[in-house]
Amino acid sequence: MIEIDLAKRLDAFALDVAFKAGGGVTALFGRSGAGKSTIVKAIAGLVRPDRGRIKIGDAVLFDSATRVDVPAQRRRAGVVFQDGRLFPHLTVKQNLLYGFSRARGEKRIDAESVIGVLGVEGLLERRPVTLSGGERQRVAVGRALLAQPRVLLMDEPLASLDAARKAEVLPYLEALNARFGIPIIYVTHDADEVLRLASDVVLLANGKAAVSGPLGAVTSRLDLPAEAETLGLGAILEGRVEGHEPARGLTVVATPVGAFRLPLLQRDVGARIAIRVAARDVSIALARPEAISVQNMFDGVVEEVREAAPHVARLSLKAGEGRLVAELTADAVARLKLTAGAKVVALVKSVALAR
């Protein structure tokens, strides 16, 4: 568990933020200047808060009330910056082992595992100047991991990469938390990275946490703040591959809402995945239609209807053991008399694979 409650004034900018997150990947999301990097520096011990408390797991790293301020070198915070900051005079292997050789206590993370997960086996004897941007970032992540951190802090690690290099690195980042069990604080202003990597999200605006919580809970809020609009209103559903229908080109995925049929996936039966159902891809009917191309239809009950903009309404509905959200015209809501408690059928026109 991560617990952050801190305040820091930097010239005219005032940061005052508090949030809690689980042991997965927590994305600090927001525009430039919102305070994301300051939080990371405070956790790492590079910036001292004016007041507050920083706790990672059982370790209190900072507490102004009890005058605890663990020195940066003893916080066991692995930091990955935009530019990687590798030692140019060392080989990749030497860069990777730099933190490992200096780490104190039990070394749970071994070099062989990190090298394999990050796919850098063929780079070990090369020097940083010969690496691509994506390769440098993978090595930087590996070096941070081998320092045996209690938390991994990633400050916009893909910001300097082009689209192709981002696509190269993202699959490696997806594997880190599940493989090594280290909580990750991930700074970004890229919505796609949040949707791909995060389990929790903290939306920062003007030095404050406008909203925070599990990613699916945040993106399904009908009052989604304007600063989070790029994340897109929608439900994120954890699922399990139940089976494949190759003749029809379909894969069946079980979720709390029900069984979805997706275009055929190259995933093993039993594999855990997450799917995203955007609010704009959900239509509402009062009864199940026949002779329709939509394959994913779910019975549900409207929980809430909220006006989002002139002539636009949002609604949440309970379906199975899960929830979906929809964005409709206000006219459609009026014509169908959609109010809390109404029984409906949700027609899901499109589904995206979140991770």
φ, ψ for residue 220, nearest 5 deg: -100, 5
Report the amino acid identity of residue 204: L
Q: What is the mean pLDDT of residues 223-238?
A: 84
69: burial class by Cβ within 10 Å (0-12, 13-18, 19+)?
Answer: middle
- CA-closest candidate to residue 168, choices 201, 141, 129: 141
pLDDT for residue 165? 83
pLDDT band at 309 (very low <50, low <70, confident <90, very high): confident
Could you tell me the fold of the domain covering 235-353?
Answer: OB fold (Dihydrolipoamide Acetyltransferase, E2P) (2.40.50)
Dihedral-angle region of residue 73 (phi above 0 means left; psi in -120 to 50 means alpha; beta otherwise): alpha
Q: What is the mean pLDDT of the chain?
A: 91
- Please, what CATH class does the domain formed by 2-232 belong to? alpha beta
Residues 28 and 204 sit within 8 Å (Cβ to Cβ):
yes
234 pairs with which residues across the strands? 278
Q: Domain ranges in the chain?
A: 2-232, 235-353
263 pairs with which residues across the strands? 250
pTM: 0.85
287: burial class by Cβ within 10 Å (0-12, 13-18, 19+)?
Answer: exposed
Q: What is the mean pLDDT of residues 60-83?
A: 92
114/155 Cα distance (integer angstroms): 20
Q: Mind listing the pLDDT tens digit for each residue in 153-188?
A: 999 988 888 888 888 888 888 888 888 889 999 999
Q: Mind listing the pLDDT tens digit for each residue in 114-161?
A: 999 899 999 999 999 999 888 999 999 999 999 999 999 999 988 888
CA 94 to chain centroid, in Å, comes to 31
pLDDT band at 9 (very low <50, low <70, confident <90, very high): very high
Indicate whether 227 pLDDT > 80.
no
Indicate whether 355 pLDDT > 80.
no
Q: What is the mean pLDDT of residues 229-237?
A: 87
